Amino acid sequence: MTDDSPWTKGMGDDGDEGPKDLGATFVENTLYGPDLNVLDGEFIGDRGRVFGLALKTGLLTVLTLGFYRFWMKTRLRRWYWSGVRVGGAPAEYTGDPLEKLLGFLIAVAFLAFYIGIVNLLLMFVSFSLFEGNFAAYALSFAGVVPLWFYARYRARRYVLARTRWRGIRFGLEPGAWGYAWRALVHWAVTILTGGLLWPRMTFWLEKYRTDRTWYGDVRLEQEGKWTMLYTATKHVFLAAVVAGIAALLLWADNIWGISVALVAVIWGGFGLAYYKVKTWELLTNAKRAGGIVFHARPKPLRVFWIYVLGYGLSSFVVTIFLVPIGFMLLALMGGVEALASGGAANLTSLSSWALTAVSIGSYFAIFLAWGAVAHAFVTMPLWRHYSETLTVIDPQALHLVQQRGRDSFEEAEGFAEALDVGAAI
Amino acid sequence: MSSIIPRVVRSGTLPPDADAVLFDGRTAHAKSVQLWVNQNAGVLEIRGEGIDQNWPIADIRLIPDQAGQKGLVLGCEAAPLARLLSANRNLMNQFPALHKRRANISRWRLLRWAAGAVASVALIILVLVPLMANQLAGMIPAKGEHALGQATLEQIRTALDETGIAPLPFCENEEGLAALAKMEARLSPQKDPLTVRVLDHDMVNAFALPGGHIVFFRGLIEAADTPEEVAAVFAHEMGHVVSRDPTRHALRSAGSIGVLGLLFGDFAGGALVLFLTEQLIEARHSQQAETDADAFAYDVLSQAGVPPSALGDMFDTFRTQFGDADGVQAHFLSHPKLSARIADARAATPDGFEAQPILTDVEWHALQNICD
Ligand SMILES: [Zn+2]
């Protein structure tokens, strides 16, 4: 660390700005070899701020009947992006809420047609032929799945096009339909093989996305083989074995059956987290951008713990919210009964309106509390952990990266937004 | 490192106001620079190795929503890709327009597409969906129609439930059901079988659903003065069943709910769907549909020996109990021409009409206590 780096000077002791080596050309080091610039990742920003931001923007979203959500998403992304610093330089999200609104309007103009007419027809066919709405839901779902992958790729393209680091834009080449049909085939193969070829899907879809990703004028490449991801599946398979033992024990009416089944469930949860973290590590370490390579070393146990603790805490907070609301509902309902027996019908309708108001209010309160707590205790800790355990190794090539042109991409995330393609933020 | 930067440009020998790092937006190179705020010339002077830039002070913006609270990340309208990073936060006071926003999207474009989206949604919801629903309602087979009604009824029961545990219960007192069955037999001796239910709820209302479902709320049966008034409501709802108004309505909402959900997103969407389901009960049929259902009811009632004026009596009873304003509770009360409908019902009763009681006193008592 060079103390005369201008970004470091004048900083407080706690150093939450934390940029190191930003102005330095390179650092001698023993771990990665000489003549390499080692850019360590870190995450700036604390829980309190993201909690406040999520709560404030969430409230505005509710008050504007959902229309502030474009601003909410933009502001949260700006916050998270600016919190990630690699080699001291923060990333930046340059998306525009109005651009998102426009993209959404474009998507609505087209999708309203599809959704209105198709839903109606499906409902009609389903009830006419099958006397139930299950067929309608199944068909509607089947029709939406390819669109869902399509929209996901498009959303990724938009987000990358609006992400900058060191002033240079990222980008993703067009290719959403290619992605959609590949994803469908991979999913079909994965399901038909009972999940045995899951790593193959993970690898090839990631390779499709990575090989089309650019940083400035440098294209990223996904190297490695899909079989290398099998080490990431070990805990899922072990959990499956334990589940098998549990099934045998339960079948034999053994008293240990339940406990072993519980172990299998927890182990399975950890196995999934392990798969996610480990594949991310393996894939990231096999990526390159020209000569620039990456060294990721996230800890699966830590990530699993963040999930357990974070969602546990979110549930706890929501429960706390529920208790007073429950009492209020009970009190109101008692009031309704009393009034009804007293025959004051006008008042009955009045308190039934109050009841509705309280129900809607509590629905939104829970929604807001859950969202804000999950940001502070799940999303942010995850981002922090992934950032802190990432290192970019630059063989003096980074400073040569040139800017790329702007991807205007009118529809922004419109389709993803309209189809509810759930991105974390 | 700052010592090697030649300070050649600025004529004075003032020390720099701050050190910073510049990303010029052309390459990813991080350049160490020094900053001088020159308020006289209205520019921020940025000097470094091979760098000689002036940013107009009025054009300097703070990049918003930063996670880091100690440094400054600055941009400039004139050079939108460049970023200046400085640890000196006091610099902020020097720039007057840090928070000014520029709209990158043309307002007209936005308005045009907003109008387009609204027009598209309006066309779908107000024209295409009703048109198709009207056509399809006539083509749906009886069994399918019944299933549609069943599904809608379950939705309504879930929406009306306030306990959050189970759907709103049906009232199934045996003698009460027997009285209701007798009333049904009197009104529709040989027509298609109906499915008649009573829901345990205070609301003074009744509604018809696709496939011959007719549902009363306990509130309506308790509020009625005579069994003939209940029979009149029964006959009116039968009129809706026969003309398939509820089927049209259910198909229409199947098309509209998805579109409205699309518009409001998952955030408000959940509450919205709940709200719309409640609207289903209110079922505002067209004025013509109401008039036709009334006319149908007069015929059914006369044939069953119940004076059609009972429909008018029912309106009258409810109006004196709740007043005209309480329309939310019952769709037949919310009708603007309530007085006209009362008059019509009385006029439909010929002079010297021979009324036969539809239920005995005992049966009427059982029906009023069907929820016990
Ligand atoms: Zn009616």
**What local confidence, expressed as pLDDT, does residue A214 receive?**
95
Number of H helices, E strands in chain A: 12, 10
As given in the structure block, the two tokens for residue A297 are: 């070393």
B251 CB near a chain A CB, below 8 Å?
Answer: yes
Question: Quick one: average pLDDT of B42-69?
Answer: 88
Report pLDDT for A386. Answer: 95
Of A79, A112, A346, the CB nearest to B322: A346
CA of B305 to the centre of ligand 1 (A): 22
Q: pLDDT tens digits, residue range A349-379?
A: 556 666 667 767 777 788 888 889 999 999 9
Contact across the interface for A127 and B262, Cβ inside 8 Å: no
B 58-87 near A (Cβ less than 8 A) = 63-71, 73, 81-83, 85-87
Quick check: B41 pLDDT over 80? yes
Residue to test with chain B: of A110, A124, A410, most B Cβ within 10 A: A124
Out of A205-214, A340-349, B18-27, least confident range: A340-349
| Residue % of chain A over a pLDDT of 90 | 46
**In chain B, what are the domains?**
17-94 (2.30.29), 119-368 (no CATH)
* Cβ-Cβ contacts under 8 Å for A282 (sequence gap 6 or more): A224, A228, A229, A231, A232
Whole-number Å distance between alpha carbons of A93 and B225: 68
Cβ pairs A/B, distance under 8 A: 260
Closest chain A residue to B86, measured at CA:
A7
Interacting residues of A294 by C-beta distance below 8 A, sequence separation 6+: A284, A285, A287, A288, A390, A391, A392, A393
Residues B275-302 have a mean pLDDT of 73
Confidence band for B1, pLDDT divided at 50, 70 and 90: very low
d(CA A38, CA A57): 37
Residue-wise burial string across A71-80, b where 16 or more C-beta atoms lie within 10 A, e elsewhere:
bbbbbbbbbb
Looking at residue B99, its pLDDT comes to: 83
Q: Could you tell me the pTM of the whole model? A: 0.76
- pLDDT band of residue B335 (cuts 50, 70, 90) is low
| Residue B190 buriedness (CB in 10 A; 0-12 / 13-18 / 19+) | exposed
Task: Report pLDDT for B103.
Answer: 66
User: What pLDDT score was predicted for residue A359?
Assistant: 67
Write down the pLDDT at residue A164: 94
Above 80 in pLDDT, residue A5?
no
Q: What is the dihedral of CA B268, B269, B274, B276, to 10 degrees?
A: 110
The ipTM, to two decimals, is 0.78
Is A120–B255 a contact, with Cβ atoms under 8 angstroms apart?
Answer: yes
Residue identified by tokens 């048109």 is B131
The percent of residues above 90 in pLDDT, for chain B, comes to 7
Q: What is the pLDDT of residue B263?
A: 67
Contacts A45 to B, Cβ<8 Å: 67-68
Least confident of A276-285, B87-96, B221-230, B328-337: B328-337
pLDDT tens digits along B231-285: 999 998 888 888 888 888 888 877 777 777 666 655 455 555 555 555 555 556 6
Has residue A69 got a pLDDT over 60? yes
The larger pLDDT score, comparing residue B35 to residue B190, is at: B35
Q: Give the pLDDT of residue A423.
A: 43
* Half-sphere exposure of residue A292: CA atoms within 13 angstroms, side-chain side: 18
| pLDDT band with cut points at 50, 70 and 90 for residue A273 | very high
**Hey, of A105, A147, A409, which one would you mutate to test binding to chain B, going by the most B CBs within 10 A of its CB?**
A105
SS3 call for A133: coil
When comparing pLDDT for B2 and A196, which is higher?
Answer: A196
Residues of B in contact with A216 (CB under 8 A): 27-28
What mean pLDDT is predicted for residues A250-279? 90
Among partner residues A79, A113, A121, which is closest to B67 by beta-carbon distance?
A79
**pLDDT mean across residues, chain B:** 80
Q: What is the pLDDT of residue A34?
A: 62
Q: According to the model, what pLDDT value does residue A258 have? A: 86
Q: Which residue type does B238 have?
A: M
The whole-number pLDDT of residue B124 equals 84
Greatest CA separation for chain B = 115
pLDDT of residue A211: 96
Taking residues B8-35, report their average pLDDT: 80
In chain B, residues with a C-beta closer than 8 Å to the C-beta of A6 are 2, 18-21, 32-34, 86-87
The whole-number average pLDDT for the span A396-418 is: 78
User: Which H or E run includes A89?
Assistant: strand A89-93
Whether B121 and chain A come into contact, CB under 8 Å, resolves to yes
Q: Which residues contact A52 (CB under 8 A, 6 or more apart)?
A: none
Residues, CB-to-ion distance under 5 Å, ligand 1: B 290, 293
